[in-house]
Amino acid sequence: MNIEPYRSTTQPYKHGGFTSTCMLRINDVKVRTGLSRSTIYSKLDPKSSAYDPTFPKQIKLGARAVAWLEEEIDTWLQQQVMMRH
């Protein structure tokens, strides 16, 4: 079953200085980037040879749940495209 991340049909709202945005779970990040789970976590690990300090950091949602900001993943992907030129 393919479940798309929640997308609001309205403009993001501001509340207390925070603008709402879409959060992507690991499977969404895998689909969006084309990277495997292990590669994503390798890009986040400073001890890994695949470490990429520009890769967006995850946000802890709970004891065993993390997510990434959709905007940060999209920006990172755009940067990858720009670097190839």
Helix (H) or strand (E) holding 40: helix 37-44
Q: What is the DSSP letter of 11?
A: P
Residue-range domain boundaries for the chain: 23-83
- The fraction of the chain above a pLDDT of 70, given in percent, is 76
Q: What is the dihedral of CA 71, 14, 63, 1, to 10 degrees?
A: -50
* pLDDT digit string, tens, across residues 9-38: 444 545 566 566 799 999 999 999 999 999
Q: What is the pTM of this model?
A: 0.75
pLDDT (average), residues 78-84: 94
Token pair of 36 as six digits: 């495997």
Please enumerate, as own/partner, the contacts of 56-60 that have beta carbons within 8 Å and a separation of 24 or more.
59/23
